[in-house]
Chain A
Amino acid sequence: MLKLHNLSKVYRTDEVETAALNSVNIEIESGEFVAIMGPSGCGKSTLLNIIGMLDSPSSGDYIFMGENVAPYGEAKLSNIRKQHIGFIFQSFNLIDELSVEENIELALLYHNIPASERRERVAHVMDKVGIAHRAKHMPSQLSGGQQQRVAVARAVVGDQAMILADEPTGNLDSAHGQEVMEMLQSLNEEGTTIVMVTHSPAHADYARRTINLFDGHVVTENLRAAV
């Protein structure tokens, strides 16, 4: 699915230069469930943003589905992104002014899909994540767990092949956290590639592979024995 080769990211601010990622080499197969772990500030989010083409690497190659996208500009990246990648954030990132339904529909809005089909697909994913009864609610009227379910629904409604989740359970209690993890797992079983950043070893256990980052380096990669 994707391959990072000698990939580095350097942030330059007025005074300091931070190497957030340092010659990272990672390969992720289609259909995998990968967890990324490491201490705060080690570069996890940076890595995920680059994989999700929200950010560009400073150097190195990023091969996505056989194409080197590292040199691509914003317009091209945006096209690939909206076709193949869905996002789930720690802070849900729903739009306060839009209802649950409309928030989910937003992911289809920029895909040239007719309104009737949009409605159908939105209804379908809402059922799938069990939020259908809250379709008309506003995000501020939902609990954190419910909000994250909406975010999951939004990430998959466009039939994206890969979902990137940055600490999807970070703001949730353990019960709700587990709920979200089970949802991700079942998506993975249906064939979606999932890359997830987490601080919880228990949640990392849902993944088949864990990548440990430290100070911008990949330190270890653990494969979980098949159950």
Chain B
Amino acid sequence: MFRNYMMTALRNLLRYRQYTLINIFGLAVGLAACLLILLYVNFELSYDRWIPENERVMRFETRMYDRGGNFTYNSDRIPPVTALIFAEQFPEIELYSRFLNQSVAVALDGKAFEQRVTIADPDVFELMGIKLIEGDAATALSSPDSLVLQESDAKRLFGDSPALGQIVRIDGTFPMKITGVMPDWPVASDLRVGALAPFSGPIVDYQPWVRHEWGSFWGPTYVRLAEGTDPEVLAADVNEFARRVGPADRYQERIDKGIQPSYEFHLTRAIDAHLQGDISGGDGRASIVRLWAAGIVALLILSIAAVNVANLGTMLAIKRVREVAIRKALGASGRQLVVQLLAESVALTLVAMMIGIALAELMLPMFGQLMDRALTSDLIYTSPMLAGLLGGAVIVGCICGLYPALVAARFRPVDYLSGMKPTLGVWLRNSLVILQFAATIGLLVTCIVVFMQAQFARTLDKGFQSEQLVAISGISKPMILEREAALREALARVPGVEAVAASHDMPDENQYTNNSGIRTDTGVEKSLRRVAVSEELLPLMGAKLLAGRLFSKDRSADSGVEENALASASVILNEKAIKDLGFERPEDAIGHEIYSPGDVRSTIVGVIANLRTRSARSEPMATYYWVGPSEYRYIVLRVAPQNMPQTLAAIDRTWREFFPELPIDRQFADDAFTQFYDTDRRQGWLLLFSGGVMVVIAVMGLYALAALSTERRSREIGIRKVLGARTLNIVQLLLWQFSLPVLLANLIAWPIAWWSLSRWLEGFVDRIALSPVPFLIAGLGVLAIAWITIIGHTVRVARATPINALRYE
């Protein structure tokens, strides 16, 4: 019996080869796309799940509040100095480690390598479940000069010779000893970890304040809580304790009135940390919303492929209705027919599943690159996944086969024999096609808008000229900072370098914000962002002056800075700061004085348009610019567009003369901007990928439907031609029939897409206005693709001589 069904199934699939191919291929492509997206989603969800006891491992975070007690933003870190104190005070904190990244140069036999170093606490090994390959975890970080390398870094530095016990020179200044080699840090981690070094070591001296400053939030802190600890209760205790032992709150008098303190610590599960995307763009995080969206898209793709199978199945079943009618008249049962059609459909999905897995495997490397993730297909071959796929294929096969089977089984032979044409399932089929195209068009619109916004953000007026702007970072390291002025002079002499300056702030992945609470002579108190610049910087960047003047080297008073002060005698404010401080017009602020911590008095000499050095998601911050060499972090150069490679090489050479053991770390400002939108770009690629797959599948389905239905309408077409219809009339008729579902699909897709895209765009401070253009492009584009696909077939049918269709009934 079973064999009989399989044979019949196979014969039928071969008989309608073209449609079988469309079905199998469509389903396989759909499944492959679905699998790839699921692998990506799974990868994002797997972040930091490898941490042992991960339900008890937390990241310490801080919620920030403004003067009025309103929540402003969440920082994913706490001041490093507090971690130590909390761990001592609270036995609930079993293990803890802080993670502070620093890029250093490791010199070995006169050769220098760039190396990311992560300053961590000795608990890190147990906390993160890291087993050292060489060395002893108990002592690996106990001496200040110890350094634990990752396996691949050890290979890079020492080749095959043993690394343990070797001495290297860091940043050309101090020696460190390799005390351990650990496996490479897992890719699926929210932490970006390099070689591990202890807090007692000299690298921390690059930012000495992290050892004692409560106001310095730097690098994440992870803790493992004792079993049974309620993180909320602990956080409350910690906050209470912190307010007791810590420095007075900035808004102390408010706390006394019962208003929210300016910050508050809380704990987030380490495994959730990665999914808090959208806090700030471009940090490679994902958001759970986006992952949900991706999962839904994956299911959509699979379902539109399944719709094809179901639709074609019914059409084919109807094609066979004559055979069915005769068989039924001869006594075959409806059940037998159902089983037969189901068997065919399941056979088809199983074949499609295998091809789909192969396709996914084939496309994985490319897809992984697109998504910027090291994806593996291991997940597919786990037994639950295989069982799920197999079960899923059978279920999808049954669902796809059931509908045509029921349609065919319900069909009464007498209807056929009395000359009625079977038209069952037309309504449902058309609705499914409409939904298919609605999903496709909706996704394409989204895709276009995402790319438009990305393009817009890239070309946004930044308030300065970012072209040909090169930033050298790492200037804040003490050994560089002390020779920074001389280096700038040398760089200014390099041919092709048009101007040189120093700054605290440039577009960069490592965002760094210093704040100063200030007071104006008009009595307004505000916290402003503090950005140190050399006198040349603002002219170099082409900052737009709104009132007053820029700093000038000729006025030595500008750069006068008192001991330990955080403002120079003259300061320049941006537009936002002026507004926040309550000045009506930029000119009104000129000549007024502000007082920064320590009652340091400065005069506002200029107001500039906001400089946008961060992603379009974040609002420009109210900022004051001062001449403060102690806080320079970048040397900024404007290079001539001609002979760029030579100029860059000369810059590198100059740097090497100053710091032979320190690799230069330079970046074009425009490249940094691009990185801000990495996550968006990833999202865009994912959408484009999904949209492309959906178009292919939907249009393939439409083609098959068109072919089958024109075949069914061939007699009608014949009659029309006999009555004088021209080829063009027939082509119009048929195209209209297949355009209608696509046009109706727009009506469903557009409002939904409009609504969700408006919501998405709200996440950007600077955003494009939603216009009908992307909607029209997607709708007409899909229509055009559908036309191109079916027009050949349609013309062929329309040109055929009508007699053949009319001869036989």
> Taking CB as reference atom, which chain B residue is nearest A164?
B722
- From A55, A95, A140, A158, residue with most partner B Cβ within 10 Å: A95
B806 at the interface (CB under 8 A from A): yes
Q: B723 is contacted by which of A49, A97, A106 (Cβ under 8 Å)?
A: A106
Identify which of B315-323, B564-572, B773-781, B796-804 touches chain A. B796-804
Whether A82 contacts B723 by the Cβ 8 Å rule is yes
A154 at the interface (CB under 8 A from B): yes
Cα distance A79–B807 when bound, in Å?
22
Contact with A along B716-758 (1 / 0, CB 8 A): 1011111111110100000000000000000000000000000
> Taking CB as reference atom, which chain B residue is nearest A110?
B724
Whether B724 contacts A54 by the Cβ 8 Å rule is no
B192 at the interface (CB under 8 A from A): no
Whether A78 contacts B419 by the Cβ 8 Å rule is no
Which residues in window 407-424 of B have CB below 8 A to A?
419-421
Q: B803 is contacted by which of A55, A94, A158 (Cβ under 8 Å)?
A: A55
Whether B421 contacts A96 by the Cβ 8 Å rule is yes
Interface SS majority for chain B = helix
Whether B720 contacts A74 by the Cβ 8 Å rule is no
A124 at the interface (CB under 8 A from B): no
Whether B719 contacts A95 by the Cβ 8 Å rule is yes
B458 at the interface (CB under 8 A from A): no
Instruction: Collect the chain A residues with CB atoms within 8 Å of residue B420's CB.
Output: 140
Q: A75 is contacted by which of B719, B726, B803 (Cβ under 8 Å)?
A: B726
Whether B802 contacts A95 by the Cβ 8 Å rule is no
Identify which of A62-70, A85-93, A177-185, A192-200 touches chain B. A85-93
Instruction: Collect the chain A residues with CB atoms within 8 Å of residue B726's CB.
Output: 75, 78, 110
A123 at the interface (CB under 8 A from B): no
Nearest Cβ on chain A to B334's Cβ, whole angstroms:
24
Whether A93 contacts B724 by the Cβ 8 Å rule is no
Whether A87 contacts B727 by the Cβ 8 Å rule is no
**With A74-B727, A140-B420 as given contacts, are A106 and B803 in contact (CB-CB < 8 Å)?**
no
> Taking CB as reference atom, which chain B residue is nearest A52?
B722
Which residues in window 111-158 of A have CB below 8 A to B?
111, 140, 154, 158
**With A54-B801, A74-B799, A93-B715 as given contacts, are A110 and B729 in contact (CB-CB < 8 Å)?**
yes
Interface size on A, residues (CB 8 A): 28
- From A52, A93, A110, residue with most partner B Cβ within 10 Å: A93
Instruction: Collect the chain A residues with CB atoms within 8 Å of residue B725's CB.
Output: 78, 109-110
Nearest Cβ on chain A to B797's Cβ, whole angstroms:
14
> Taking CB as reference atom, which chain A residue is nearest B725?
A110
Cα distance A75–B807 when bound, in Å?
21
B554 at the interface (CB under 8 A from A): no
Nearest Cβ on chain A to B724's Cβ, whole angstroms:
3
**With A49-B803, A96-B421, A140-B419 as given contacts, are A54 and B722 in contact (CB-CB < 8 Å)?**
yes
Contact with B along A153-186 (1 / 0, CB 8 A): 0100010000000000000000000000000000
Instruction: Collect the chain B residues with CB atoms within 8 Å of residue A45's CB.
Output: 807
Which residues in window 68-115 of B have CB below 8 A to A?
none
**With A54-B803, A74-B799 as given contacts, are A97 and B716 in contact (CB-CB < 8 Å)?**
yes
Cα distance A185–B716 when bound, in Å?
28
Instruction: Collect the chain B residues with CB atoms within 8 Å of residue A107's CB.
Output: 723-724
**With A74-B799, A93-B715, A97-B716 as given contacts, are A110 and B723 in contact (CB-CB < 8 Å)?**
yes
A81 at the interface (CB under 8 A from B): yes
Instruction: Collect the chain A residues with CB atoms within 8 Å of residue B806's CB.
Output: 89, 93
A interface with B by C-beta (< 8 Å): 45, 49, 52, 54-55, 74-75, 78-79, 81-83, 87, 89, 91, 93-97, 106-107, 109-111, 140, 154, 158
Other A-B pairs beyond A75-B726, A110-B720, 7, CB < 8 Å: A49-B803, A54-B802, A93-B719, A95-B720, A106-B723, A110-B725, A111-B724
Q: When A and B form their complex, which 6 residue pairs have the shortest distance between CB atoms, in order from nearest? A: A82-B724, A110-B724, A107-B723, A54-B803, A95-B716, A110-B725
In the assembled complex, 24 residue pairs joining A and B whose CB atoms fall closer than 8 Å, in A order, are A45-B807, A54-B722, A55-B801, A74-B727, A75-B726, A78-B721, A78-B724, A78-B726, A79-B724, A81-B722, A81-B724, A82-B723, A82-B724, A89-B806, A93-B722, A94-B719, A95-B719, A95-B720, A96-B421, A106-B723, A107-B723, A110-B720, A110-B725, A140-B419
